[in-house]
Amino acid sequence: MNADDGATSSKPAWRWLGGLQPLRKSRSLLWALLVLLVGSSLVLLIWLAGRYESSAAQERLEAYTADLATQMRQGMSRNLRSLQALQPDRDPAWQAHAHELLQQRRELIRVEWRDTELRPDRVSDSPYRPPAFESFDRSLSAADVGLACRAAQRFNAPAYSNSYFVPQSNGMGLELMDVCLPLMATGQLIGFTVATYALNDMLSELLGAQLTRGHAVSFAEADGTRLAMYGSAGSGRRLFVAQQLVDLSGNTLVLRLESRQGTADLFPNLLTALVTAMTLALCVVLLMLVRDMRRRLKVEHDLAEALAFRKAMENSLNTGLRARDLEGRITYVNPAFCQMVGVRAEELLHHRASPAPYWPPELANVYQDRQTFRMANKALPRGGHESVFMRSDGTRFPVLIIEAPLINALGKHTGWMSAVLDLSEQKRAEEISRASQDRLQATARLAMVGEMASLLSHELNQPLAAISSYANGSLNVLRDTQAALLTGTPEQRRLSGDLEMALRRIAEQAGRAGKVIKSVHDFVRRREQKREAVQPMDLIDAIMPLVSLQARKLGVRVVITAEPSCPQVLCDPTMVEQVLLNLARNGMQAMQAVPEQASDRVLHLRVQRSGKNGVEFSVTDVGEGIAEEVASQLFTPFFTTKDEGMGLGLSLCRTVVEQHGSSLSFKAHPPRGTVFAFTLSAATPDSPPPSQAALTPRLPAFFKP
């Protein structure tokens, strides 16, 4: 891991340390919310206590209003009984009795005796005030009185009229209400007793000053309009109102009671005061807790900084860290270890299953025995050993494990701490170094081969030139004596022909050997090679003498197949002939392991068109084929399966074919054997000359320095 990787790995720890500031802010916010909650609870408690006191006052007022309404009904019922006692037809002193009743009941301001036609017969007014109808025509209220009396006659019971307003001479007025009582004699209606109530006097006389002290009592209509009022509601800030219906026969009055009271004190009762005191004490305790928490937060902050510093160091390491308890469960891993094995920390922590996820299955038993031995030896000294781990994708990699006992603050052995080093890069570097040494050795050998080829080409040129000279001289001598030999015996003539043929072959092969040596010399020295248009069969015919000679020796039958329409190819004939000759020799040698009686040993040379501008050459044998482990190294220089081979044949063949812009390939030939093939470009008049890159010999990548 480089420096950048280490910085990236340490980011989570520093980010966690930076997260302490929001944590402290959140704690401060929690404390503020707690204080706000306590204050809100206190305010809510006081408000609820005030609400309770207000609701209690409202309930008391409503109960008091109900009592006043009951008292009002009782007083009016008592007045009805007194009115029923007045009998004009039996009491000559009705006037005196009515006057006495008005003196006793100040709420009654007038009593009338009316006949069956509702005509006033006798009238008595209250002695305490001027007559109510002195300045107001009584007939104007006849309609209300008539309705009440007709209702009383119909139900044979007292009936009340609606209230009405009567102006007075002093500029004021009275709200009055009449009650009508039917008088019966022997089942016949003989008249009506009509009594007039003043609503103000009803409130003052029937309810009394003591009952209404501190309250304003009034009669009101259904829409809230006051008809009469008595008393004062007080001087408090808050107004309490209670209403009660006073049901009367023929009329319904709304009794309204108003009372003003002062607002509730800050502490309306002892319980509220005690709770408030306890709340204040709780606030003091909270302040002390805040002070203590601030100290704790400082200690936690220091601890978190130390932990974050250690975490940053662990995350920046290339070394994997792993901690295990006494039972073998993983209790800690750092990011480097997780990245090393390709498994998340959540899957590794407290892992009890055996084997571990990063153990190779083939080594699980060995690792289990090693872990059992380590768990049994708690006093195991520090040490390191090499092992093999497995990533999540199944790849194996070497590691170096250094383990030491894990001792806690009390000096107790609680497990083991392991440092795991990935040796993949080290092993790869060693492998690269070893391969570099092999390449240097191969390059040295190739250089030596080049020197040998140059030396051989220089040394063999003179013997080959001498052979060619002797062969040509012999042919000249043979031509000079040919006339004499023709006159000789038949045996002499046949001997002369055979001798001439042999000498011609010697000269041809000597010339061919010289060309080969020159081509090899040019190839090694990387000189530009000249190409020419050649018929494909000329290349085959050039190597057939040598192929036929070796085929007779090895017991192989050679079959040649060529398409007549194949065009000329552009190539270096000498080098291509060597490629075909080498492939033919390898094919014949590959068939030596096949029993002759089991299968016919046939080497098939085929020439056919390949596409529009190509000619394919293929060599097919019926040998044992190429094994998979050999196929991957078949074209590697100095790799050979022959005891006497050098391992350069197929490598040079591939290089020559690649010089001509093609590739040498091979494939299996069912049911047995191998096919080697390559393609050469057709020679056309307008085809461009070969590029310098194509003419330059190219060595295999393995031999490049």
**For 178-201, what is the mean pLDDT?**
88
Q: How would DSSP label each residue in 243-297? A: EEEEEETTEEEEEEEEEEEPPPPSS-SHHHHHHHHHHHHHHHHHHHHHHHHHHHH
Asked if 319-421 and 423-527 have one fold, the answer is no
For the chain, how many residues are written? 705
| Domain 530-703 sits in CATH 3.30.565.10 | yes
Instruction: Give pLDDT tens digits for 233-287.
Output: 777 677 888 888 888 888 888 988 888 775 555 565 666 677 778 878 877 887 8
CB 556, CB 590: distance < 8 Å: no
Q: Which residues contact 406 (CB under 8 A, 6 or more apart)?
A: 323, 413, 414, 415, 416, 417
Local structure of 170: helix, strand or coil: coil
Q: Which residue would you say has higher pLDDT here, 680 or 36? A: 680
Strands 602-609, 557-562: pairing is parallel
Q: How does residue 5 score in pLDDT terms, banded at 50, 70 and 90?
A: very low
**What is the pTM (predicted TM-score) of this model?**
0.40
Positive or negative, the CA dihedral 337, 338, 339, 343 is: positive
Q: Quick check: 203 and 230 in contact, CB under 8 A?
A: yes
For 49-119, strand residue ranges (E) read: 108-114
Helix/strand number for the chain, H first, E second: 17, 22
Tokens in use for 157?
Answer: 């019971």
Span 319-363, pLDDT tens digits: 888 888 877 788 888 888 888 888 887 777 876 656 778 888 888
How many Cα atoms within 13 Å fall on the side-chain side of residue 160?
21
The residues, any chain, with a CB within 8 Å of residue 626's CB and separated by 6 or more, are: 634, 666, 668, 674
What are the structural domain ranges in the chain? 3-55+268-313, 85-198, 319-421, 423-527, 530-703
Smallest CA-to-CA distance from 501 within 465, 461, 474, 466 is with: 474
CATH architecture of 423-527: Orthogonal Bundle (1.10)
Is domain 85-198 in CATH 3.30.450.20, yes or no? yes
Distance (Å, whole) CA 317 – CA 477: 90
Q: Does residue 478 have a pLDDT over 70?
A: no
Indicate the fold that domain 319-421 takes in CATH.
Beta-Lactamase (3.30.450)
Residue with tokens 């080594």: 363
Encode pLDDT of 130-176 as tens digits. 888 877 778 788 888 889 999 988 988 999 998 888 888 777 888 89
C-beta of residue 203 within 8 angstroms of C-beta of residue 229: yes
CA 343 – CA 364 distance, rounded (Å):
17
